[in-house]
Structure 1
């Protein structure tokens, strides 16, 4: 295969990833050690996130084909992309948690459910708990009033039984 064909194939694959992903977070990784990179990739795999380092020219071509050409201004220096297909908050959260411990990682921007997010928005997104935690909180908020209602009804029943 010729070099041009290889590049065209990579652009095609990246375009599909941009279109399929719930979130694609761009990050700078200058100064990260091999051990840190291995740890980051392991964290990404465990969270179901695909982490890729791709040339900026190929990334820009794929982003433009997917309709996200505006990310061009964030493609400066070495950039890696974290693709999340299930949970749109997961890539930002995993990267932000890693960046807290390893200052070489810097969140640059992202594409989240079709919208371009700048660094500030990506950082805000990283603070949203996982979907399962949010569901548990909602269910917990339903459970508390129901538990109180059961407690009150039980108290009324016991009071009536005591009076009878």
Structure 2
């Protein structure tokens, strides 16, 4: 089957979407039917830095995804579709989408794509349940600091014991008059 030739404006839109797909660490597709412009603005703000929420025509988005090597999403490009392009922390964006969908039933998460594979709605929900990268790094730093402090205490203990033993011997020697 021959590839459909699009007018210049649509070719530009496909190229921009393909760039978005290529540059994103993850993408999430949603249906936004019934959301007002103000609600869409609120959603965009709730997604965090490095995340773009973009409404796109399904045929153009499907073509762009395929051009970018993003596979497994073709069945999701039905109905009014918006794509969340995540260049930052996917956990933060997934949390934002999940939380917004809880309070706005009109937002329906369809699925997504991350690290070379399509994601189901359940996988996106599990991603949203994770702690953010910053929290995990802080916990790791705290654990490393505690381990370093314990190590320093263990290494310092023999020196402290030797010093105490030396002091005790000196006291005993002084008490015995030697």
TM-score range normalised by the length of the shorter chain: 0.7 to 0.9
Q: Do the aligned partners of 2:29 and 2:81 also contact (CA within 8 Å) in 1?
A: yes
Q: Which aligned runs of 4 or more in structure 1 are off by greater than 3 angstroms? A: 148-163
Unaligned runs of at least 5 residues, structure 1: none
Match of 1:75 among 77, 94, 110: 77
Which residue is 1:35 aligned to? 38
CA deviation map 1:16-62 (0-9, x unaligned): 11111101111111222333212112223x42211100011111111
Match of 2:64 among 62, 69, 73: 62
Give the total of aligned pairs. 161
Q: Distance in 2 between matches of 1:138 and 1:43?
A: 27
Tell me the C-alpha RMSD between the 2 structures.
2.2
Q: Distance in 1 between matches of 2:141 and 2:13?
A: 43
TM-score normalised over the length of structure 2: 0.78
SS in 1 for 2:90: coil
Unaligned runs of at least 5 residues, structure 2: 1-5, 168-178
CA deviation map 1:74-107 (0-9, x unaligned): 1121111111113233332221122232222221
Q: Distance in 2 between matches of 1:117 and 1:157?
A: 56
TM-score normalised over the length of structure 1: 0.84
